[in-house]
Amino acid sequence: MTWSRRTAGGLFLTLAILGFLLALQLRVQQEGSHAQLQRKSSDELTSLVAALNQENERLQAEVTDLRLAAQDTRYRGESDVSRLDEQAQELNDLYLVTGLRPAYGRGLRLVIRDQRGELNAVDLDQLINELKASGAEAVMVNGRRLDTRSSLLRTAEGIALSGEQLLSPYVVDAVGNPADLESAMEMAGGVVPSLETRPDVTIRMETLRKIEVPTVTHEPVFLLARKASD
């Protein structure tokens, strides 16, 4: 037998003896614990069981609290995401209302011809307001988008939109449900039937599958207003 084989055999024997001793120690400890329980009185055993039950209830309550905390954290995270989505949608709506973001969609086009200059700014403004009341989300006149600061004024040459002259024919494009917009325009006693009673005023309506409305030509410039401090 070589030295390496003798070494391996000795190591195996040593490990076997250690395993036997550990198993023997564990058995002795278990028998000792069992013997200790047997030596305890019924009152002591009852107290021990009660203490174990109390500890078990404490651990179960701790687990429940941790689960509730995890659910609350998940709920808060979902709520934060939902609030961010709502705020993003509100911001997008504000961009559309103020004209700072282009818009597109189905809609209605009105081509208004006024050969004798019978129409004034009030007439065109009433028509636009009727479109908005009927659900128009974005409106432009002769390729210029209207926003919250737009104004129509009567001038010697006709009608001006925010200081820029408009020429007939007036082409009004409105993004919205075409059926709703057209119904509002054709309503008896409404704006369109009233305007068509004027001499040489004609209005042609056309449903479009897609109307592209650009951003406002000039963004507002504030001279005195400043951002309020938080």
What is the predicted pLDDT for the residue at 80? 67
Summary count for the chain: helices (H), strands (E) = 5, 8
Cross-strand pairs, 56: none
Q: Sheet containing 158-161: which strands, arranged edge to edge?
A: 152-155, 158-161, 164-166
Q: Is residue 171 part of a domain?
A: yes
Q: Is residue 175 part of a domain?
A: yes
**Cβ contact 121:159 at 8 Å:** yes
User: What CATH code is carried by the domain that includes residue 176?
Assistant: 3.30.70.1880
Q: Is residue 185 part of a domain?
A: yes
**Cβ contact 199:115 at 8 Å:** no
The one-character DSSP state at 29 is: H
Q: Which two tokens stand for residue 75?
A: 């709920």
Q: Which domain holds residue 191?
A: 104-213
Q: Is residue 226 part of a domain?
A: no
Q: Kindly give the confidence (pLDDT) of every residue in the chain, 230 residues in length, as a single tens digit, with 9 standing for 90 and above.
A: 554 455 555 555 555 665 655 565 555 555 555 555 555 566 666 776 667 667 767 777 777 777 777 777 776 766 667 777 777 777 666 766 677 788 889 999 999 999 888 899 999 999 999 999 999 999 999 999 988 788 888 888 889 998 889 988 999 999 999 999 999 999 888 889 999 999 999 999 999 999 998 887 766 677 787 777 65
Calculate the dihedral angle through the C-alpha atoms of 75, 80, 85, 88, rounding to the nearest 10 degrees: 170
What is the predicted pLDDT for the residue at 3? 45
What is the predicted pLDDT for the residue at 175? 95
Secondary structure class of 155 (helix, strand, coil): strand
What is the predicted pLDDT for the residue at 74? 74
Alpha-carbon distance of 150 to 142, in angstroms, equals 14
What is the predicted pLDDT for the residue at 14? 59
Q: Is residue 142 part of a domain?
A: yes
Total number of domains in the chain: 1
Q: Is residue 5 part of a domain?
A: no
**Cβ contact 141:124 at 8 Å:** yes
Q: Which residue has the tokens 């650009």?
A: 214
Written in H, E and C, the secondary structure of 53-116 is HHHHHHHHHHHHHHHHHHHHHHHHHHHHHHHHHHHHHHHHHHHHHHCCCCEEEEEEEEEEEECC
Alpha-carbon distance of 96 to 102, in angstroms, equals 7
Which residue, among 146, 154, 156, 168, has the nearest Cα to 122 in the 3D structure?
154
Query: Residues 173, 108, 212, 101: is their CA dihedral positive or negative?
Result: positive
Secondary structure class of 105 (helix, strand, coil): strand
Q: Is residue 147 part of a domain?
A: yes
Q: Is residue 20 part of a domain?
A: no
